[in-house]
Chain A
């Protein structure tokens, strides 16, 4: 890591929006949980796995009282972002708070198997948006099959951050909080392995054209805080997934 940023603490990436992950030196696959603090409520985004829970907790507890978290938002059902949800529920309910799990209905039926006790707020059943108490709106952008049939991205109208789930993620031993000049290659490597095909990827990238995006905060890899369009165009044109039809490439 070459940046001069103290990632042992939460990092405020925009007004009231925090990265609360950690730098795992031995991992080629970093996970990035985020927190939006909005007045007297907070949204925890892609909170993480069971092994990551203590590190995420150590940052979270310095930012807000747990009962302030009213929503946990997860872009799909994978354990690296969801398995820790029951532990966060214990904290929030233990402090007298209440939670909703914000996700797609296709993911909710699977997430239930982690032993979730909170009700679901299904984005596809709620006009693809969520309005917080302050009036701040989160817009959900459906990105089916990238890489889950119910995957979606989240656009925060206040900060113009796109929380992109697995999209725009990367393999990264040489991890930086913010994408450096080599990030494009690491991002392409990840998408070639996990995304199903160019037509599907292109369709999702085309949807982003109508959004004014200041920053892309993905669940893996680094945060893209400049040249956003360059990264969208890279994915729009990326060949991925076709290896399954090639003998010897499975």
Chain B
């Protein structure tokens, strides 16, 4: 489990919650991108995860954080990865 995996998990969830296009726009807002297979282009780290979830919260509100917090938390525990405050 890596931060890249966690970011992809967030992307997958947000495609369901805010839809494909809003998800792609929000990724772009924070300098991230996904390929045709919706896998993250390049590496992603703790800061990228924090910026992405924070941006979803700013644009679409708390529901977007609630919608990924539990599953990301579960996966982070499996990989012993620290989480940004917004996901705790």
Whether A associates with B in a native complex is: yes
- Please give the residue numbers on chain A whose beta carbons come within 8 Å of chain B beta carbons, in ascending order: 2, 28-29, 170-174, 182-190, 192-193, 239-240, 242-243, 246, 248-249
- Tell me which residues from 12 to 48 in chain B have a Cβ below 8 Å from any Cβ of chain A: 12-13, 15-20, 22
CB-CB under 8 A from A2, the residues of chain B are 19
Of B17, B73, B88, which one neighbours A28 at CB under 8 angstroms? B17
| Minimum CB distance partner of A174 in chain B | B19
Q: List 11 A-B contacts (CB under 8 A).
A: A171-B16, A172-B16, A182-B20, A183-B16, A185-B15, A185-B17, A188-B16, A192-B70, A246-B77, A248-B73, A249-B73
Report how many residues on chain B are interfacial, defined by Cβ distance under 8 Å.
23
- B77-A184 in contact (CB<8A): no
Contact A171 B67 (CB under 8 A): yes
- With A173-B60, A182-B20 known as contacts, the answer to whether A193 contacts B70 (CB < 8 A) is yes
Measured CA separation A188–B67 after assembly (Å): 8
| Across-interface contacts of B71 in A (CB, < 8 A) | 188-189, 192
In the complex, are the beta carbons of B16 and A187 less than 8 A apart? yes
Known: A28-B61, A174-B22. A243 touches B16 (CB 8 A): no
Residues of B within 8 A of A (CB): 12-13, 15-20, 22, 60-61, 63-64, 66-71, 73-74, 77, 88
Known: A174-B22, A192-B71. A186 touches B16 (CB 8 A): yes
Q: Which residues of B contact A183 (CB under 8 A)?
A: 16
CB closest residue in chain B, given A28: B63
A235 nearest CB across to chain B (Å) = 14
Q: Which of A184, A186, A240 contacts B67 (CB 8 A)?
A: A186
What is the chain B residue whose CB lies nearest that of A191?
B70
Interface centre among A174, A242, A248 (most CB of B within 10 A): A174
Task: Pick the most buried of A172, A185, A188: most chain B CB atoms within 10 A of its CB.
Answer: A185
The answer to whether residues A173 and B70 also contact, given A29-B63, A249-B88 and a CB cut-off of 8 A, is: no
Contacts of A185 on B, CB cut-off 8 Å?
12-13, 15-17
Beta-carbon contact of A189 and B88 below 8 Å = no
